[in-house]
Amino acid sequence: MEEYEVQFLERAVQLSKEGSSQGLGMPFGAVIAKDNKIIAETANLSFVNCDPTAHAEVSAIRQACSALKSRDLTGCDLYTSCYPCAMCMAAIYWASISRVYYAAPKVSFSERWDRLEASLIPELNKPDSEKSIPVIHVPALAQEAQLVAEEWFVRR
């Protein structure tokens, strides 16, 4: 690793310490860099924002997209204090982050947390009728909703 990459990862770890000690969220931090310069950095903000999706990686992606005025973060690298959870990893792919560097491997918080993380992908792959959270299709509006989406994609 280059020295600047180590510094970016050290900054992510520092953000995890600062954020958790200030009560902002869980003990995680993330930095996004492009062309060897930091364009976004944040701790986990899930407590302060009352937002369960405000993980450090997702919050950093939001900042970086805003800073670059783009949803495409190709050419950006993400540095995170801990291996990203499934939600954050999905966001990393959606944003087209080029590389991910992490300090700690997956952290085990509790048996409950581990079960949730391990069961998420199989749960998402279940048919809607078998999911633990009811997912209900309303066919009466399906055609209209699909048409809106199709027209939008055609215009792109």
pLDDT, tens only, 34-93: 999 999 999 999 999 999 999 999 999 999 999 999 999 999 999 999 999 889 999 999
Fold of 3-155: Cytidine Deaminase; domain 2 (3.40.140)
What pLDDT does 70 receive? 98
Q: Indicate if the alpha-carbon torsion angle 54, 56, 89, 123 is positive or negative.
A: negative
- How far is it, in rounded angstroms, from Cα 37 to Cα 132? 43
What pLDDT does 122 receive? 86
Of 2-6, 10-14, 84-88, 110-114, the one with minimum mean pLDDT is: 110-114
| Residue 82: Cβ within 10 Å count | 23
Over residues 100-156, the pLDDT tens digits come to: 999 988 766 666 667 777 788 888 889 999 999 999 889 999 999 999 999 998 998
- Strand-pairing partners, residue 101, are 79
pTM of the model: 0.86
- Pull the structure tokens for residue 11: 């900054």
Q: Which of 5, 57, 111, 130 is catalytic?
A: 57
Active site residue 3: no
User: What one-letter code names the amino acid at 99?
Assistant: R
Q: Is the pLDDT of residue 15 over 90?
A: yes
Domain ranges in the chain are: 3-155
The phi, psi pair for 138, rounded to 5°, reads -115, 90
What pLDDT does 105 receive? 83
